[in-house]
Copies of this chain bind each other. A is one copy, B any other.
Amino acid sequence: MRITTLLIALLCTCGLARLDAQEAVNEDINTIIRKHGLEQSQAMEIAGWMTDVYGPRLTGSPMLDKATDWAQKTLNEWGMKNVHLEEWGPFGTGWEMSHFEMHASSPSYWPLIAYPKAWSPSVKGTGSVIYMAAETVEDLAQYKGKLKGKFVLLDTIREVKEIWEPNAKRHDAESLLDMANAPMPTPRPRRNYNLGARGFRTALWELMEEEKPLAILDRSYKGDHGTVFVSSARTAEGRSRDKDKKVVPQVTVAVEHYNRILRNLQRGIDVKLSIDMKAEYTNPDEMEHNIIAEIPGTDLKDEVVMFGAHFDSWHTATGATDNGAGSTVMMEAARILLETIKESGVQPRRTLRLALWTGEEQGLLGSRGYAKDHFAVFPPDSYTPQSLKPEQEKISAYYNLDNGTGKVRGIYLQGNEAVAPIFRAWLQPFKDLDASTVSLGNTGGTDHLTFDAVGIPGFQFIQEPMAYFARTHHSNMDNFDHLSGEDLSQAATIIASFVFHTAMRDEMLPRKESKIDGK
């Protein structure tokens, strides 16, 4: 056993050294990629249609269907092959807001900056506001029979801070060095949920569903100055998009407006609000779709290099940085590759496959649906694969982008040490574009995890933070104006080069040691 281990270690070391010395970089191709990506970028043109015209793109919504049609049409016009949709699901019902207006009507009129949480039902009415100070199941009893026709506040006042520090930032040497020096990642401990608190929350929401208040209001948990972060409505049990759901209307209010309402209640003033919300439940078949498009390979065409991003968004803006940015960059990378192939006459050896996922915001559902169809058998209600399908062996790599509009500063290896020298070699020509850092670390929260989970090398690039978490991620300000064309063009250029080089090398990318059955 020990000898075997030693042999493997030796083999690995030799392999790494070989790669380090020999990993090919095609400078001619990179020159053409740079021309189309940097000098003739179409990134902002693509992003404009995807956001201003076809945003937001909430999974299940009619607008996502329109955006999907536009994306397919665009990819076909460019000359992508095998452009098609692949179904996944069931997702639950779709939802789209068709009207929303809310204001204070007593003691005086003022309009609210507020947004319904997704899957909130239609409601229209005027009512008093009540603040529920309940902290235990016992506290709830006093509110029984008192909530119908009312607006219910659950949150306390959140103090607003002025912007004493910049909201937006780019990486500096220090933050990049931290990533460059990241150790081999270890599995994260599972979160230890507070079951007591969960019991209270369930009881609270059961009360809400019995009492049927006009709406439940919370305040944006960050943002301020008119920026509001909003995602999905909740229920006592199950998901708000499930059929037979009982969803109480839920609205997130700008913190300054929420605080004003609550302070006036604390002053003993009867505050009345009015709401007029219309929402349609759509998509009765509950099935959703990913968009797939290819550039066929040649001698290794059965092997595939995948690159993609999630196409869906939340609903209060146009999904520009989350994840119009990533989808734009990946569509633009495809366009750059098509142009580069045309200009150079060099065909990719492996097939290049673009994927625009949906359902990411509800739990990487689109990419997981794809993994289920193509890569692995999963037990019910689990995304830990039971066994692998043959197609899993044919995917060399999957590249993903989903951290906003910021340009690429490097790449996370997701614990795959063997690809380090390869990626270092491929990043070397982009040193002038500030993309050099290779981090052994993991990054989470998006669709490369789906690939990593089934043993396919899946990567997310290191991106400039910009104002992503401070301002745009899941907020009403996630719109085109917060995109940076220069950053998107840089990302598309580097990713096109990564995809091309992955397609051309003799071997597929090395994989991490797998613990999955059947591999």
Interface residue? A103 (CB, 8 A): yes
With beta carbons under 8 angstroms apart, the residue of B101, B113, B163 that contacts A163 is: B163
Assess whether A27 is interfacial by the CB under 8 Å rule.
no
Residues 140-173 of chain A: 1 if any B CB is under 8 Å from the residue's CB, otherwise 0? Answer: 0000000000000000000110111111110000
**Distance A481 CA – B167 CA, assembled complex (angstroms):** 19
Decide if A260 is an interface residue (CB 8 Å cutoff): yes
- Separation of A442 and B162 alpha carbons in the complex (Å): 28
Checking B100, B267, B318, B482 against A48 with a beta-carbon cut-off of 8 angstroms, the contacting residue is: B267
Nearest B residue to A107 by beta-carbon distance? B53
Least CB separation from A255: chain B residue: B481
B109, B256, B471: the one contacting A98 at CB < 8 Å is B109
Interface contact B226-A264, CB-CB below 8 Å: no
| A466 to B163 Cα, complex, angstroms | 9
**A313 within 8 Å of B (CB atoms):** no
Which of chain A's residues 325-368 have a Cβ closer than 8 Å to chain B?
Answer: none
Q: Interface residue count for A (Cβ, 8 Å)?
A: 53
Residue A505 at the chain B interface, CB threshold 8 Å: no
- Hey, which chain B residues are within 8 Å of A476, CB to CB? 113, 226
Q: Is the interface of A mostly helix, strand, loop or mixed?
A: mixed
Q: How far is the CA of A34 from the CA of B466 in the complex (A)?
A: 45
Provide the bound-state CA to CA distance between A169 and B111, in Å. Answer: 29
CB of B109 within 8 A of CB of A99, answer yes
Write out the residue numbers on chain B whose beta carbons fall within 8 Å of the beta carbon of A224: 481
Q: Is the CB of B264 within 8 A of A162?
A: no
- The answer, yes or no, to whether A243 is at the interface (CB within 8 Å) is no
Closest to A274 in B: B99
A263 close to B466 (CB less than 8 A): no
Interface string of A463-498 (1 = CB under 8 A from B): 000110011000011011110000000000000000
15 A–B pairs (Cβ distance < 8 Å), ordered by A = A48-B267, A52-B263, A97-B109, A99-B103, A100-B111, A101-B103, A162-B471, A163-B167, A163-B470, A165-B166, A225-B477, A226-B226, A226-B477, A257-B479, A260-B481
Residues of A whose CB lies within 8 Å of any CB of B are 48-49, 52-53, 63, 97-101, 103, 107-109, 111, 113, 115, 159-160, 162-169, 224-228, 254-257, 259-260, 263-264, 267, 269, 318, 466-467, 470-471, 476-477, 479-482
